[in-house]
Chains A and B, each alone.
Chain A
């Protein structure tokens, strides 16, 4: 087990950002942490990367306690924070070299590793250009390379694709998959993009209100919610008792209604859809729109976390001093 999280809790006053979380991550896994804004993902990552002490519970990285053996943990991990932290005035090569020196990597090994990593992230030709000339995707790739410069065993990435265009996002994920195989890495990543997590993560943990609400492979998570298909249909008018009528259609597992829009989970999408159209025609209820999809991780996410907006206050990263600026978690 590369990561062991046991009853981990982090509270800021009355507010618990991480609430008795427990899970493990196996060696070589690409582990996704999903959750709505303010769910506690970034706080969890900060505790695991020694940036924040937990209120209670334990976390171990390759057997090292994140509080008691923080230095051993730091040596074993690579971290890409949510914010882009490369130095804009320095070149890509200089950014890499400075971090390699912080880990005291000998000169020859440093040169070799930097070249290899810049090749791996397709930035060799830009190695001597200042980072301020890079696009967002290039900067993120550079930071991924920089995070690997000391050959860590576990790689933490906090929303690495947020703010990137679709092409850059795909390239970052492909790169992560390749690096995981080539370097025998365990990767823990937080993301908002369900399709990426679905395609690339070996296992996914859904965190909400600081608690673990689901943990399994994307395939099993999708199977864990009612229905294999989701029919999303909106009607021009909704007669009395219409939800009960829809629940009575063949193969229907669950019906959720929001105003005139209904999400019907079905074990057999085509059959339920046919029956639904017949029923609507007989009841003279006009269908405004209709779509049938297979269950996605989005549906899993919504199923476990609900659909309401999360306008909650953020817990401060720092504490008491009136001089301190409050940071977003």
Chain B
């Protein structure tokens, strides 16, 4: 047993020395996920502002002027959109089609008369719905504005009003913080993919493993050595994301030692689960193109169904089924609990149990499938 540990450690040491000698590899596996966190976090996280809405006022009387003034108020305060006045609808629609403006608000000629007569007139909002995010934001903003406009006119029969007070358990979570747990898991996966996939198969193809197979290393020594070496590198990536990622994303009290300690435990379990999975997938592969070819697909199949970017409850049943067996799901859930809710280990006990069991089963299967001969 002592000799087995020495041999396993020799394999780990070799990998660590190679890792140290390849700064480019360290950059790829640690810094790129951080870049992704920042870019994705800010790309999806902000409120949509400064859109341009063309206003075609074909009425020009007081109620219509009031409506235009309210639009100007939105432009001055919330800044969701700015208004551009058009004298005719045709030019406005042409600009909409040419992408110069995001929507056209059409106030019809009889608008004011109908308002004053209490006939509930319509105003038309013509949107560029090729961009659902922008059109939804314009619709939402104008709907809110019209509610205010209408409130002044509606006489309430009830003397009291009912309002909903929302109490949020946690402080406001910007999208970049919501994305951080998934990004930590993704960084660990990228390291596992490089260490357990690409480098492992490249070494095999270059004949490096032939050098090991003629030594007294057992199948277990080899699988454990490769797994642990890969897991250590994946852990380093995970730890960089946990600390620096938390600072970048603005997680409150990011260097809380107790939370970092809990996250370290989850990083270890996640790294072991993902590297074991990679070895299981690659154990019979010899062609260096295979890990490169499946990298993107595997990333998509594992990352997106995990709930890292969108809630699992919104998925169709087949995608929910993937989420149930996907180690990403449990890792992401665990990191969400620790990063966003600052829970204790009890809250992620189920996640740790799944990841630990998954790692053991994958490592056992990889050992069984591993060939000690060429």
The interface of chain A, by Cβ under 8 A from chain B, is: 46, 49-53, 71, 74-75, 77, 79, 81-85, 87, 89-90, 94, 98-99, 101-104, 130, 317-318, 321, 323-325, 327
Are the C-beta atoms of B287 and A327 separated by less than 8 Å?
no
Question: Could you tell me the distance in whole angstroms from the C-beta of A186 to the nearest C-beta in chain B?
Answer: 16
Question: Could you tell me the distance in whole angstroms from the C-beta of B202 to the nearest C-beta in chain A?
Answer: 12
Q: In the bound complex, how far is the Cα of B11 from the Cα of A98, in angstroms? A: 7
Known: A81-B207, A98-B10, A101-B13. A323 touches B374 (CB 8 A): no
Considering the complex of A and B, which 6 residue pairs feature the smallest CB-CB distances, nearest first?
A83-B207, A101-B10, A89-B21, A325-B287, A325-B286, A79-B214
> Which residue of the partner chain, among B7, B216, B286, contacts A318 with CB atoms under 8 Å?
B286
Is B212 part of the binding interface, using a Cβ–Cβ cutoff of 8 Å? Answer: yes
Minimum CB distance partner of A43 in chain B: B374
Q: Which residues B1-44 have CB closer than 8 A to chain A?
A: 3, 6-7, 9-11, 13-14, 17-18, 21-22
Question: Could you tell me the distance in whole angstroms from the C-beta of A209 to the nearest C-beta in chain B?
Answer: 21
Q: In the bound complex, how far is the Cα of B14 from the Cα of A83, in angstroms? A: 19
Per DSSP, chain A at the interface is loop
Question: Could you tell me the distance in whole angstroms from the C-beta of A114 to the nearest C-beta in chain B?
Answer: 14
Are the C-beta atoms of B21 and A90 separated by less than 8 Å?
yes
Minimum CB distance partner of B14 in chain A: A98
Q: Scoring B residues 197 to 238 as 1 if CB is less than 8 Å from chain A, else 0, what string do you get?
A: 000000001111011111111000000000000000000000
Are the C-beta atoms of B17 and A323 separated by less than 8 Å?
no
Q: In the bound complex, how far is the Cα of B15 from the Cα of A90, in angstroms? A: 10
Q: B18 to chain A: which residues have CB within 8 Å?
A: 87, 89-90
Q: B213 to chain A: which residues have CB within 8 Å?
A: 50-51
Question: Could you tell me the distance in whole angstroms from the C-beta of A54 to the nearest C-beta in chain B?
Answer: 11
> Which residue of the partner chain, among B13, B216, B284, B374, contacts A51 with CB atoms under 8 Å?
B374
Q: Which residues B268-287 have CB closer than 8 A to chain A?
A: 284-287
Q: In the bound complex, how far is the Cα of B22 from the Cα of A321, in angstroms? A: 33
Q: In the bound complex, how far is the Cα of B209 from the Cα of A317, in angstroms? A: 14
6 contacts between A and B (CB under 8 A): A50-B214, A85-B210, A87-B14, A99-B211, A102-B217, A323-B284
Q: A84 to chain B: which residues have CB within 8 Å?
A: 207
Q: Which residues B138-174 have CB closer than 8 A to chain A?
A: none
Are the C-beta atoms of B374 and A83 separated by less than 8 Å?
no
Minimum CB distance partner of B11 in chain A: A102
Q: B22 to chain A: which residues have CB within 8 Å?
A: 89
> Which residue of the partner chain, among A51, A101, A130, A318, contacts B210 with CB atoms under 8 Å?
A51
Are the C-beta atoms of A324 and B17 separated by less than 8 Å?
no
Question: Could you tell me the distance in whole angstroms from the C-beta of A202 to the nearest C-beta in chain B?
Answer: 24
Q: In the bound complex, how far is the Cα of B284 from the Cα of A65, in angstroms? A: 27
Q: In the bound complex, how far is the Cα of B130 from the Cα of A153, in angstroms? A: 75
Are the C-beta atoms of A323 and B287 separated by less than 8 Å?
yes
Q: In the bound complex, how far is the Cα of B354 from the Cα of A288, in angstroms? A: 82
Are the C-beta atoms of A130 and B374 separated by less than 8 Å?
no
Are the C-beta atoms of B286 and A323 separated by less than 8 Å?
yes
Are the C-beta atoms of A87 and B208 separated by less than 8 Å?
yes
The interface of chain B, by Cβ under 8 A from chain A, is: 3, 6-7, 9-11, 13-14, 17-18, 21-22, 205-208, 210-217, 284-288, 290, 371, 373-374
> Which residue of the partner chain, among A51, A77, A101, A321, contacts B373 with CB atoms under 8 Å?
A51
Q: In the bound complex, how far is the Cα of B214 from the Cα of A46, in angstroms? A: 9
Minimum CB distance partner of A74 in chain B: B216
Q: B10 to chain A: which residues have CB within 8 Å?
A: 98, 101-102
> Which residue of the partner chain, among B13, B210, B215, B371, contacts A74 with CB atoms under 8 Å?
B215
Give the most central of B17, B217, B290: most A CB within 10 Å: B17
Are the C-beta atoms of A99 and B17 separated by less than 8 Å?
no
Q: In the bound complex, how far is the Cα of B290 from the Cα of A83, in angstroms? A: 22
Minimum CB distance partner of A146 in chain B: B211
Q: In the bound complex, how far is the Cα of B210 from the Cα of A318, in angstroms? A: 13
Q: B210 to chain A: which residues have CB within 8 Å?
A: 51, 81, 83, 85
Q: B6 to chain A: which residues have CB within 8 Å?
A: 101, 104
Question: Could you tell me the distance in whole angstroms from the C-beta of B208 to the nearest C-beta in chain A?
Answer: 5
Known: A46-B374, A87-B18. A51 touches B214 (CB 8 A): yes
Given A318-B371, A318-B374, A321-B284, 8 more A-B residue pairs with CB atoms under 8 Å apart are: A71-B216, A74-B216, A82-B207, A83-B207, A94-B14, A323-B287, A325-B288, A327-B374
Are the C-beta atoms of A52 and B373 separated by less than 8 Å?
yes
Are the C-beta atoms of A130 and B21 separated by less than 8 Å?
yes
> Which residue of the partner chain, among A50, A99, A324, contacts B287 with CB atoms under 8 Å?
A324
Q: A327 to chain B: which residues have CB within 8 Å?
A: 286, 374
Minimum CB distance partner of B282 in chain A: A323
Are the C-beta atoms of B206 and A102 separated by less than 8 Å?
no
Q: A82 to chain B: which residues have CB within 8 Å?
A: 207
Are the C-beta atoms of B286 and A101 separated by less than 8 Å?
no
Q: A52 to chain B: which residues have CB within 8 Å?
A: 373-374
Question: Could you tell me the distance in whole angstroms from the C-beta of B99 to the nearest C-beta in chain A?
Answer: 48
Q: B17 to chain A: which residues have CB within 8 Å?
A: 87, 89-90, 94, 98
Minimum CB distance partner of B287 in chain A: A325
Question: Could you tell me the distance in whole angstroms from the C-beta of B39 to the nearest C-beta in chain A?
Answer: 31
Q: A130 to chain B: which residues have CB within 8 Å?
A: 21
